[in-house]
Chain A
């Protein structure tokens, strides 16, 4: 009887040991697995962090001083991470490409003028360039005011300008000189006559059939003419897309770097006789440069919002 009891006692201990061993093994495997997952998750987080930083790195080349024998430009960091500029790619008109190394750090929100003394430019060199950051982003200079199918900076010992060999095109490089300032009096109406008196048109009387004028600025360096008849101020009611158009009756010249009121005729049908009716307004502008009247170009200028009282 004692032996029988002892037999049960021993096998209980042994099976207990085995049970513990198996449990430890399974637990160990689970811990190992958890650790692997954890490490992998860390790698994923690191990759996502790098991607986030890369997407939030935003540099703008705000100015290029080309009357310098060295590459000379100013960069603003508009992003939320510190940027490290490491490469400069130069491309010359003659097709030569060059790659230079620089080492410039720019904190978020700050600007820095970079004079790359290792990038020497020859007299009459025509070039464009891009900079690359350590995170792999590539930034080009922002064209200001002028555009063309291709442009270059031009070092001629004192001045720089854009070379515009291809002329203007109907595509993305079409000059777009107009700016609407969104000032209180920049968009006006008159219910009395085509010559006023004028009131701000952001809120207008219901059921009216007014005349309009809009202050447009020509930021381009050339004089332009807005075409009469085709240039229109178009109103869309927010619950229907049948527009009301007010047209300009005469050509309106706008000198370079200046702004004028563009006058529009009365709309053909009166506004709805409903208060709180909302309208969207957009200017369809057709224009040409005075030095090339045969090339008429079209653009929309802005979208305004109006409601009736």
Chain B
């Protein structure tokens, strides 16, 4: 019996150990690969978003205070990526409707210029901060004095 307890031969023991080592190694490699893969893909998305944001640029060229409750903004995409205008802020008020019936977001192509007519009651001589915000978080902004 004592002899049989020692009966797992050296060969078997070696094979078992090698198999165990290979299995653990494979598991480790897959785990590490998955971990790195997750990290690199997240980093890829993060940097792609940053890049896109950097390549996007918008400018608020001109503001016309027209009838007493109407402001027209002339916006130009001066970046190298198409962009989406999601919100226009006039004096802190978020506006998503323009040209009477249309609703933001509005997609602007590279180099495109577009007039947005928004409804807002303004007063002569008052200063109005105006911001045009994009989906990537960029802004075209400025302050205008109503004539």
User: Which A residues contact B (CB, under 8 angstroms)?
Assistant: 3-4, 6-7, 10-11, 14-15, 17-18, 21-22, 25-26, 28-29, 32-33, 36-37, 39-40, 42-44, 46-47, 50, 54, 86-87, 89, 95, 97, 99, 130, 132, 134-136, 138
Q: How far is the CB of B15 from chain A (nearest CB, A)?
A: 9
Query: Which B residues between 19 and 33 are near A, CB-CB below 8 angstroms?
Result: 21-22, 25, 28-29, 32-33
Per-residue A-contact encoding for B33-50, CB less than 8 Å = 1, 0 else: 100100110011001001
User: Which B residues contact A (CB, under 8 angstroms)?
Assistant: 10-11, 14, 17-18, 21-22, 25, 28-29, 32-33, 36, 39-40, 43-44, 47, 50-51, 54-55, 57, 59, 61-62, 64, 66, 72, 74, 76, 78-80, 111, 113, 115, 147
Q: How far is the CB of A194 from chain B (nearest CB, A)?
A: 51
- Evaluate whether A29 and B54 lie within 8 angstroms (CB atoms) in the complex, with A10-B18, A22-B29, A87-B61 already known: no
- Evaluate whether A18 and B47 lie within 8 angstroms (CB atoms) in the complex, with A33-B40, A87-B113, A99-B74 already known: no
A89→B62 contact, CB < 8 A? yes
A44→B54 contact, CB < 8 A? yes
Find chain B residues with CB under 8 A from A7 CB: 14, 17-18
B78→A138 contact, CB < 8 A? no
A14→B54 contact, CB < 8 A? no
Find chain A residues with CB under 8 A from B55 CB: 43, 46-47
B32→A25 contact, CB < 8 A? yes
Q: How far is the CB of B38 from chain A (nearest CB, A)?
A: 11
Q: How far is the CB of A289 from chain B (nearest CB, A)?
A: 28
Pick 24 A–B contacts, CB within 8 A, sort by A: A3-B14, A4-B10, A7-B18, A11-B17, A15-B25, A17-B25, A25-B32, A25-B36, A29-B36, A32-B43, A36-B47, A39-B47, A40-B51, A43-B51, A46-B80, A86-B113, A87-B74, A87-B113, A132-B61, A132-B62, A136-B59, A136-B61, A136-B76, A138-B62
- A4–B14 alpha-carbon span in the complex (Å): 8
Find chain B residues with CB under 8 A from A47 CB: 54-55, 57
Q: Is the interface of A mostly helix, strand, loop or mixed?
A: helix
Find chain A residues with CB under 8 A from B25 CB: 14-15, 17-18
B18→A14 contact, CB < 8 A? yes
B57→A97 contact, CB < 8 A? no
Find chain A residues with CB under 8 A from B50 CB: 40, 43
Query: 9 closest pairs, A vs B, by CB?
Result: A136-B59, A43-B54, A43-B51, A36-B47, A136-B78, A97-B64, A18-B25, A7-B14, A47-B54
**Contact of B40 (CB < 8 Å), options: A4, A32, A99:** A32
Residue of B nearest to A44 (CB): B54
Residue of B nearest to A91 (CB): B64
- A138–B75 alpha-carbon span in the complex (Å): 12
- Evaluate whether A14 and B22 lie within 8 angstroms (CB atoms) in the complex, with A39-B51, A40-B50, A44-B54 already known: yes
Residue of A nearest to B60 (CB): A136
B62→A134 contact, CB < 8 A? no
B47→A40 contact, CB < 8 A? yes
- A7–B64 alpha-carbon span in the complex (Å): 84
Q: How far is the CB of B33 from chain A (nearest CB, A)?
A: 6
Find chain A residues with CB under 8 A from B28 CB: 18
A14→B78 contact, CB < 8 A? no
Find chain A residues with CB under 8 A from B113 CB: 86-87
Find chain B residues with CB under 8 A from A39 CB: 47, 51
- Evaluate whether A25 and B10 lie within 8 angstroms (CB atoms) in the complex, with A14-B21, A32-B44, A43-B54 already known: no
Residue of B nearest to A48 (CB): B54
A135→B36 contact, CB < 8 A? no
A21→B29 contact, CB < 8 A? yes
Residue of B nearest to A86 (CB): B113
**Contact of A135 (CB < 8 Å), options: B17, B21, B51, B78:** B78
Q: How far is the CB of A12 from chain B (nearest CB, A)?
A: 11
- A44–B57 alpha-carbon span in the complex (Å): 12
- A32–B115 alpha-carbon span in the complex (Å): 42
A138→B18 contact, CB < 8 A? no
- A213–B57 alpha-carbon span in the complex (Å): 55
A11→B51 contact, CB < 8 A? no
